[in-house]
Amino acid sequence: MKKMNGKIACVILASAVAAGSLSGCGKLDGTQTVATVDGEKVTLGMANYIVRDQQAMTESYYQMMSQSYGMDMSSMGIWDEKAEDGRTYGETAKDDVMDTIRTLYAMKNHAEDYDVTISEEEQAKIQEAAKTFMEDNDAETLAKLAVSETDMVTYLELLTYREKLHDPMVADVDKEVSDEEAGQSTVSVVKVSTAGTEKDEDGNTIELTEEEKEAKKEQAQQVLDKVKASENVAEADMSALAQEVEESLYAYTPSFTTAGSEEDTLDQKVIDAVASLKDGELVQEVVEGTDGYYVVRLDKKNDEEATENKKESIISEREQEAYDKLVEEWTEEAEIKVEENVWKKVKVTDSVSFQYKPAETSDTESEEDAADTDEDTADETEADTEE
């Protein structure tokens, strides 16, 4: 779509090295060759850094989720657990990293097909980012990561090629989307669910009885009656009226493809019920769906905003398909030889932990960073770049 400018490239590089402050255990010779991709040697140091970056990212996510749900992660394993194929998640994570490395080199080797290069300005920023990474980590951490400044430069170059290749790779994707294909209608819906909420001793959901379902239908009817009695049905606050019947009820406003689509997730009974209505009109009866009763109002038969959003979504899907297809082809074509005796030295287990350290900044630095972030955000909004 739109071309990434130098400012955005800098932001990408900054995010790439934000994972720098890692702590962990183990010591490797990062200068060893761990793999060769299309004749280019990959150092163990760079590969190990990518592994530890992904490991730290995953562990940080699990920690965040455990805190959100009040769980104790101290006794929970991540990497030593086995999947259905019998391999541990740690082993799978290593495989994923090697696949990523193969893809990154494959993309770099196709950069000239699209006249994609790294400018002198970008190269200078890469050098600066790599140097900052090394300075921000102590000698002990760098020894555990086994990564050198040269490794970081190489990795950031690969990331930059990948980022800059995206737009030219999808430039030829068809951007034309017809109104029939994308046209959206929007409704306001109050759903009274008939799905069971309790479980039996075996953990199976207990379905509602006919009497309970009838009570749910009566709730929906009460909501419908209140909406009907409104002075202006088209502008009635259906959530407020629904909560007069039951506090847990609310209205939501889904859109669906006017011409019909298999991708529509809204109950087909709801879609059918508004087929002959005009904007602002209410379905005069409670709609019985597959797992609930619905009170439905057609807000807009032709919702222009929702339609434009759908068009953008369709184009994005086309671009993603085209991009993924090329990446897959290039990756499959790339010849890779992994030095297994070297690669096996990298262990991803629950006993080898790498985590991000919180950044330590002064108040002044924090204020300056905040100002820089605001400036970058403004520049990104104005810049010709794809979100």
Contacts of 326 (CB under 8 A, 6+ apart): 169
Question: 261 by DSSP, 3-state: which?
Answer: coil
CA 218, 222, 228, 230: dihedral to nearest 10 degrees?
-170
Q: What's the CA dihedral at 197, 201, 203, 205 to 10 degrees? A: -30
Q: Are 279 and 299 in contact (CB under 8 A)?
A: yes
Helix, strand or coil, per DSSP, at residue 380: helix
Quote the CA–CA distance of 373 and 379 in Å, as a whole number: 10
Q: What domains can be seen in the chain, in order of their start residue?
A: 6-174+311-382 (no CATH), 184-302 (3.10.50.40)
Query: What pLDDT is stored for residue 384 in this prediction?
Result: 37
Half-sphere exposure of 214 (CA within 13 A, CB side): 3
Give me the residues paired with residue 295 across strands: 190
Q: What is the Cα gyration radius of the chain? A: 27
Question: Which pair of structure tokens corresponds to residue 124?
Answer: 């200078």
pLDDT in tens, 132-186: 889 888 888 888 899 999 999 999 999 999 999 999 999 999 999 998 999 999 9
Please report where in the chains the tokens 């502008």 appear, as a residue: 235
Q: Which residues of 7-17 are buried (b: 16+ CB within 10 A; e: fewer)?
A: ebbbbbbeebb
Q: Which comes out higher in pLDDT, residue 16 or 44?
A: 44
**Tell me: the pLDDT tens digits for 257-304?**
999 988 889 999 999 999 999 999 999 999 999 999 999 999 999 999
